[in-house]
Amino acid sequence: MVVKEDLKKISDFIWEIPKSYRSDMNVPVRIFASEKMLDEVFSDRSLEQLINVSTLKGIVGPALVMPDAHEGYGFPIGGVAATKIPDGVISPGGIGYDINCGVRLLKSKFTFNEIKNNLESLSREIYHYIPSGVGRGGKLKLDKNELDKVLKDGANWMLENNYATQDDINHIESNGKLDNADPTIISDHAKKRGLDQLGTLGAGNHFVEVDFIEEIYDEEIAKTFGLFKNQVTVLIHTGSRGLGHQIATDHIKIMMNVMPNYGIKIPDRELACVPFNSPEGQNYFNAMAAGANFAWANRQMITHLMRQAWEKEFGKGNELSLLYDVAHNIAKIEEYQIEGEKQSVIVHRKGATRAFPPNHPEIPQDYQSAGQPVLIPGSMGTASYVLAGTQKAMEISLGSTCHGAGRRMSRKAAKREVHGKALRDELRERGIFIQAGSVPGLAEEAPIAYKDIDEVIRVVDSIGIAKKIAKLRPCVVIKG
């Protein structure tokens, strides 16, 4: 078991476990955390999982974990790792079951004072328009041919069918579409699970949240992003729903069966993997891309429904525009300077957000001077943040940063300590209006179940892998 004495301090916020720690490690591992956060990192298996990641075939550079780290499936949540192309492995555990779980932020022209008397009725409208909860279907019912088009074209299908604007598409990571997506690889069972789930939140930590900007840290970049103090915004956090989960389930099973054929041995069966250039590796990568496209389409449909609720509450002419949409559970081919040479690698991000710097060709034209918007939600009773990507992230963290506050308490433990109704009443006293399908289930997502989001943001800002731009405070929360 890893203890603090095993860590080498690189700087105030960067710690390393050297490759010599265990004989099967191929690279060292690095932890981004403040000293006071380390106890939480040692409280579960996240560091042991990160060490296991370092043993994967073809891994290059350190295996990384962000300050929101906690135990996951195979990889720790908050984990980032790159493997070589063509024969390094790809592992579904490095992406997660909720393929392209991600966040988008919508901007309004309102200030908080202009809508504060509408918050309760707004919460009811949003809850009415946007389906949430386990297995809950949406208003948009697709046939199999239409679903295949969504899987292939992602948010672009939404544009063709009048659920999106071109401005929306321009402000989504990868323009809401991964070109290698192949719907023919996806099982009928996975497709069946997705037929009625476009435009649905699901449950767990997914939400729609109305916030206002409490603080601006960088006026120039905030202006570039179209943000101002006291501005009302909307955060949407969800992913690929049951379809993405089934894609992961199907391909993990396949990989576990064929790993012996490739001579792959792993220290944890949850790290099931195959060479990227193998038929199974390519099939998973292309199926994952289709799942990612579905998730972008899902968040776009929720945006469409959110706009309907907004118009119902405030009338026409009070539009919501998209700041950005970014994934935090995904694998992508990217290029980095590694061990003195430029290499194309498969970057696995599992609960980690892309954070590309100014002038990067993959970020929207209107943000080129500022860097990529980085969206980091907290918990429903605390703050969320907008940051900007940096060159430092490209140099030390594979263009990545944290994705949220990170759990510090299991769902069961949270339910033992918190009563859902009492939490809802307490948040209402603080001016936060909650609508939820399961009031007892609210306890699972109580603020005490999560790490200190302010400390998480302080770490990534201090290291320089994302730059703090704005702090948001919640006033309406919709959960499953």
Q: Residues with catalytic annotation?
A: 403
Which residues make beta-bridge pairs with 240? none
Q: How far apart are the first and last CA of the chain?
A: 37
Contact 247, 188 (CB under 8 A): no
Three-state SS at 388: strand
DSSP state of 302: H
Alpha carbon distances (Å) from 307 to 21, 157, 299, 392, 406: 53, 18, 12, 36, 29
Structure-block tokens of residue 182: 């192949």
Backbone phi and psi for residue 310, each to the nearest 5 degrees, phi listed first: -65, -45
Backbone phi and psi for residue 79, each to the nearest 5 degrees, phi listed first: -90, 145
Residues ≥6 apart with Cβ < 8 Å to 219: none
Beta strands 29-32 and 59-70: pairing type? parallel
Structure-block tokens of residue 157: 């299908």
Could you write out the DSSP letters of every residue in 42-71? TTSSHHHHHHHHTTSTTEEEEEEEEEEEE-
Question: Could you tell me which of 63, 90, 57, 27 has the C-alpha nearest to residue 332?
Answer: 90
User: Cα 6 to chain center, whole Å?
Assistant: 30
Residues ≥6 apart with Cβ < 8 Å to 23: none
Q: Which residue has the tokens 């041919």?
A: 145
Q: How many CB atoms lie within 10 A of CB 207?
A: 26
Three-state SS at 14: strand
Alpha carbon distances (Å) from 71 to 50, 74, 249, 345, 348: 9, 8, 19, 25, 16
